[in-house]
Amino acid sequence: MRWEGAADLSWMKQTRILMRARGLEEHWTSPELCVGQSKEEWRDLVYEKVEEHHERVREQDCESMTSVSRYRYVKCWEKMDADRAVMTGEVSIRGSLVVERYLDDVKDRMGSRLKLMCRAGCLPVMSRVVWELGLSARHGRCPLCSTGETESLEHMMLRCPIHQAHRSKMMAHVGAVYATSNDNGEFEAGTEEAQMHVLLGARAGAKEAEDVIDVQVKRFLVKAWKARRYVGRVVNRKFDRMDVVWSKDWDRRSPDHTSEAEADGNDDSARTTAQRSSPDRLSKGVAPPGVEQRAPRLTRSTVEIARASAPARGARRRLFD
Ligand SMILES: [Zn+2]
């Protein structure tokens, strides 16, 4: 056919290449397939094929990315149903194109932020901090409890005894709504990973159940982050980091102003704006200038700072033992 030998910029040639790549070539070779279709039907068919292609690309890309191994199952990639859609325009739109409902929450902004970081796998628990700083994993032990476990996200949400009281409340609500929407299925009978998926926003049977779980998980995360705020402040101070730290008026401040020093009420005016926004400070996995890539050797002044800011709880003691 003449178009096969046309210039590369020929719209006919490029259109057929695109249709072939998206599985629509038979509509080119057999135009009668299009004759009975309305403009809207053809548009919907093209959208469907294009989105299917990009879903396959996404799945292939995610398979090799260990950092999103959990997120693949937490995020719903299916088409949005009418019950869960916030706006009618979202109905039948693929999950990858829809903003998650939990991000619309303006009442619990810190909870939303912590949940987002949990879903992205970048909440600065100790396991994440030592990984980013290139330190030995043994420095990632939970500073709050005496179990000796690494403070991972799972440890904080499912196992750490320090958070048990808040966890029990969360699990009671989550278990109840999960059973209601899953034929009396027992939430805590699932594997830890399956529980993490549901807690972080995976489909749980019904929109109402998912909304209750969302509220409870955010509440737990804020409580847990509050319990370890002294740890966050010391880590920020010691390693010149800007990890999010719970503070009473967090949501009335700019995120850039939630450094541990200000949360302490400490005068830290020597820090310049340039220092706060230095790319080195914000880049992942790169220790700030002056921090050695080896086990931290805590100075006396750091310990004194921690003692001045932390109550007589296990947090400060175990962090520096
Ligand atoms: Zn612990």
Give the per-residue pLDDT at 297. Answer: 41
For residue 247, the CA-to-ligand 1 centroid distance in Å is: 21
For residue 226, the CA-to-ligand 1 centroid distance in Å is: 14
For residue 212, the CA-to-ligand 1 centroid distance in Å is: 26
Are 128 and 215 part of one and the same domain? yes
Let me know if residue 71 belongs to a domain: no
pLDDT per residue as tens digits for the range 105-161: 888 899 999 999 999 999 999 999 999 999 998 899 999 999 999 999 999 999 999
Are 20 and 163 part of one and the same domain? no
Cα separation, 168 vs 267, in Å, equals 38
Give the per-residue pLDDT at 257. Answer: 46
Let me know if residue 74 belongs to a domain: no
Are 115 and 50 part of one and the same domain? no
Q: Which structural domain range is residue 45 located in?
A: 2-64
Are 54 and 160 part of one and the same domain? no
Give the per-residue pLDDT at 133. Answer: 94
Give the per-residue pLDDT at 143. Answer: 95
Give the per-residue pLDDT at 262. Answer: 42
Sequence-distant (6+) residues with CB within 8 A of 147 are: 159, 160, 161
Are 287 and 239 part of one and the same domain? yes
Give the per-residue pLDDT at 3. Answer: 56
Q: Which of 49, 64, 79 is the last residue of a domain?
A: 64
Let me know if residue 239 belongs to a domain: yes
Let me know if residue 77 belongs to a domain: no
Give the per-residue pLDDT at 4. Answer: 61
Let me know if residue 185 belongs to a domain: yes
Buried (b) or exposed (e) across 220-251, using 16+ Cβ within 10 A? bbbbbbbbbbbbbbbbbbbbbbbbbbbbeebe
Q: State which residues have CB under 5 angstroms from ligand 1, the bound ion.
A: 142, 144-145, 160
pTM confidence score: 0.72
For residue 125, the CA-to-ligand 1 centroid distance in Å is: 11
CA-based nearest residue to 201, from 228, 230, 221: 221
Phi-psi region of 85 (alpha: psi -120 to 50; beta: other; left: phi over 0): beta
**Is residue 126 a contact partner of residue 141, using CB atoms and an 8 Å limit?**
yes
What are 79's strand-pairing partners?
94
Are 181 and 290 part of one and the same domain? yes
Give the per-residue pLDDT at 290. Answer: 39
Are 45 and 108 part of one and the same domain? no
Cα separation, 189 vs 203, in Å, equals 17
Let me know if residue 200 belongs to a domain: yes
Instruction: Dig out the tokens for 88 from the structure.
Output: 């009618």
For residue 227, the CA-to-ligand 1 centroid distance in Å is: 11
Let me know if residue 78 belongs to a domain: no
Total tally of structural domains belonging to the chain? 2
Let me know if residue 79 belongs to a domain: no
Buried (b) or exposed (e) across 38-49, using 16+ Cβ within 10 A? eeeeeeebeeeb
For residue 300, the CA-to-ligand 1 centroid distance in Å is: 25
The segments of the chain whose pLDDT lies below 70 read 1-6, 251-321
